Chains A and B, each alone.
Chain A
Amino acid sequence: MDNFEPKIVAFCCNWCSYAGADLAGTSRMQYPPAIRIIRVMCSGRVSPFLVLKALSVGADGVLVLGCHPGDCHYIEGNYKTMRRIPLLKKVLKQFGIEEERVRLEWVSASEGAKFAEVANSFTQSIKNLGPSTLDNLKQSSKGAKHG
Chain B
Amino acid sequence: MAKLKIALYWAASCGGCDIATLAIGEKILKLAEAADIVFWPIGLDFKYADVEKMPDKSIDACLFNGAIRTSENEHVAKLLRAKSKIMIAYGSCSYEGCIPGLSNFYNRQMTFEHVYIETPTTDNPGKIFPQTKVKVPEGELELPEFYDTVKTLAQTVDVDYFVPGCPPEEKTTWLALEALITGKLPPKGTVISHAVKAVCDECPRKKGEKKIKKFYRPYEIVPDPEICLLEQGLLCYGIATRGGCGALCPQANMPCTGCYGPVEGVIDQGAHFLSALSSIIDSNDPEEIQKIIDDIPDPAGTFYRYSLPDSLLRRARIK
Interface residues, chain A, CB within 8 Å of chain B? 47-49, 52-53, 55-56, 69, 79-80, 82-84, 86-88, 90-91, 94-97, 133-134, 137, 139, 141-147
**Known contacts A143-B159, A145-B159, A147-B189: A49-B317 contact under CB 8 Å:** no
Residue B286 CB within 8 A of the other chain: yes
CB distance A82 to B159 under 8 Å?
no
Q: Which of B242-279 contact A (CB under 8 A)?
A: 267-268, 270-272, 274-275, 277-279
Q: Out of B267, B281, B314, name the residue touching A83 (CB < 8 Å).
A: B281
CB distance B312 to A96 under 8 Å?
no
CB distance A83 to B274 under 8 Å?
no
Chain A nearest CB, measured from B108 CB (Å):
15
**Known contacts A137-B314, A145-B162: A94-B283 contact under CB 8 Å:** no
Residue B193 CB within 8 A of the other chain: no
Bound complex: CA A82 to CA B152 (Å): 34
Residue B105 CB within 8 A of the other chain: yes
Q: Which residue of chain B is the closest to A133 with respect to CB atoms? A: B317
Tell me the number of A-to-B contacts counted with CB atoms below 8 Å: 108
Stretch at the interface among B122-130, B139-147, B174-182, B296-304: B296-304
Q: Which of B276-293 contact A (CB under 8 A)?
A: 277-279, 281, 283-284, 286, 289-290, 293
CB distance A144 to B293 under 8 Å?
no
Query: Which A residues lie within 8 Å of B311 (CB)?
Result: 52
Query: Which B residues lie within 8 Å of A90 (CB)?
Result: 293, 296, 299-300
Query: Which B residues lie within 8 Å of A95 (CB)?
Result: 105, 300, 313, 315-317
Query: Which A residues lie within 8 Å of B267 (CB)?
Result: 49, 146
Chain B nearest CB, measured from A40 CB (Å):
14
Bound complex: CA A56 to CA B105 (Å): 16
Interface residues on B, range: 35 or more
Q: Which residue of chain A is the closest to B189 with respect to CB atoms? A: A144
Residue B8 CB within 8 A of the other chain: no
Chain A nearest CB, measured from B152 CB (Å):
6
CB distance B274 to A91 under 8 Å?
yes
Chain B nearest CB, measured from A62 CB (Å):
13
Bound complex: CA A145 to CA B153 (Å): 11
**Known contacts A49-B272, A82-B289, A84-B278: A96-B319 contact under CB 8 Å:** yes
Q: Which residue of chain B is the closest to A90 with respect to CB atoms? A: B299
CB distance B188 to A144 under 8 Å?
yes
**Known contacts A94-B105, A147-B189: A49-B275 contact under CB 8 Å:** yes
* 14 sample A-B contacts, Cβ–Cβ < 8 Å, listed by A number: A48-B271, A48-B274, A56-B312, A86-B286, A87-B274, A87-B293, A87-B299, A91-B303, A94-B298, A142-B155, A144-B159, A144-B189, A145-B310, A146-B267
Q: Which residue of chain A is the closest to B283 with respect to CB atoms? A: A83
Bound complex: CA A94 to CA B316 (Å): 7
CB distance A79 to B275 under 8 Å?
no
Bound complex: CA A96 to CA B289 (Å): 23
CB distance A91 to B300 under 8 Å?
yes
CB distance A84 to B317 under 8 Å?
no
Bound complex: CA A142 to CA B160 (Å): 14
**Known contacts A91-B299, A91-B303, A144-B158: A86-B289 contact under CB 8 Å:** yes
CB distance A83 to B289 under 8 Å?
yes
Bound complex: CA A48 to CA B155 (Å): 23
CB distance B159 to A49 under 8 Å?
no
Chain A nearest CB, measured from B149 CB (Å):
8
Q: Which of B184-221 contact A (CB under 8 A)?
A: 188-189, 191
Residue B1 CB within 8 A of the other chain: no
Q: Out of B152, B271, B319, name the residue touching A49 (CB < 8 Å).
A: B271
Residue B134 CB within 8 A of the other chain: no
CB distance A48 to B275 under 8 Å?
yes
**Known contacts A49-B268, A49-B271, A49-B272: A137-B188 contact under CB 8 Å:** no
Bound complex: CA A82 to CA B293 (Å): 12
Q: Which residue of chain B is the closest to A91 with respect to CB atoms? A: B300
Chain B nearest CB, measured from A17 CB (Å):
18
CB distance A143 to B152 under 8 Å?
yes
CB distance A94 to B300 under 8 Å?
yes
